């Protein structure tokens, strides 16, 4: 949007879009990798701490696990039996799941998160690039704005629906912030054109 608003050639807009796609995908992947790696580090540290506590204070940990089950609605006697049986089977696994909320399915996976984030960004960024390729540069700003706003509205509605919220709330929120971001970007490009 910014490069097109600065009255650049169609080729310049396309190159800027491709560069933005590559940089954005890498930035999203790197940010996600760092964030989820930090989460994985925290999970490992928590599990290590639990393992030490299970080794040094097994009876106290068994009572703590039973208390968790009582808080979830089990009778104290049954909770104590469950805690004993689970700890005999896999004490660290029981603590990871029931005290820390760490399961194999929900464990932090930095590489997987980074790849998913990069792929999502790439798919989203492909829509405005496609518009740049299909339409004359004179219509690029309007075409990119409309197509991207439609894409953002659909994605916002879909994300809200998947999350159990009303679709119109997510659609409105994502469309508003997307339109604002595009307007600011176009404004910056327009200012550079005026300065030239």
Residue ranges of the domains in the chain? 2-29+111-195
CA proximity to 40, closest of 121, 118, 113: 113
Are 187 and 5 in contact, with CB atoms under 8 Å apart?
Answer: yes
For 25-50, what is the mean pLDDT? 90
Assess whether pLDDT exceeds 70 at residue 171: yes
| Percent of the chain topping pLDDT 70 | 98
Q: Report the pLDDT value the prediction gives residue 116, as an integer from 0 to 100.
A: 92
**What pLDDT sits at residue 55?**
82
Mean pLDDT of 164-170: 92
Residue 196: which of 8, 1, 10, 15 has the closest Cα? 8
CA distance 150 to 128: 11
Most confident of 103-117, 130-144, 147-161: 147-161
Q: Which pLDDT score is estimated for 196? A: 46
Instruction: Report pLDDT digits (tens) over 15-28.
Output: 888 998 999 999 99
Residue with tokens 């300065």: 195
Residue 6 banded pLDDT, cuts 50, 70, 90:
confident
Question: For residue range 47-94, what is the model confidence (pLDDT) as tens digits?
Answer: 888 888 888 888 888 888 899 999 988 899 998 998 888 888 888 888
Closest CA to 122 of 33, 32, 21, 29: 21
pLDDT above 60 (res 195)? no
pTM, rounded to two decimals: 0.68
Q: Which residue has the tokens 């989820």?
A: 36
């Amino acid at each position: 949007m910014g490069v097109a608003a600065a009255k650049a050639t169609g080729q310049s807009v396309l190159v800027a879009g491709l560069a933005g796609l590559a940089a954005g995908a890498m930035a999203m992947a790197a940010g996600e990798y760092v964030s989820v790696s930090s989460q994985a580090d925290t999970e490992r540290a928590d599990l290590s701490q639990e393992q030490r506590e299970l080794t040094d204070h097994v009876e106290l940990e068994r009572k703590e696990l039973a208390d968790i089950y009582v808080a979830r609605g089990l009778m104290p006697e049954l909770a104590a039996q469950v805690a004993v049986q689970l700890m005999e089977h896999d004490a660290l696994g029981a603590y990871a799941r029931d005290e820390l909320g760490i399961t194999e399915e929900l464990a932090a996976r930095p590489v997987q998160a980074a790849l998913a984030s990069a792929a999502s960004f790439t798919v989203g960024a492909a829509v405005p690039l496609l518009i740049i390729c299909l339409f004359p540069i004179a219509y690029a700003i309007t075409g990119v704005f409309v197509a991207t706003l439609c894409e953002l509205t659909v994605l916002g509605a879909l994300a809200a629906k998947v999350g159990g919220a009303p679709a119109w709330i997510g659609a409105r929120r994502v469309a508003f912030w997307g339109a604002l971001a595009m307007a600011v970007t176009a404004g910056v490009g327009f200012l550079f054109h005026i300065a030239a």
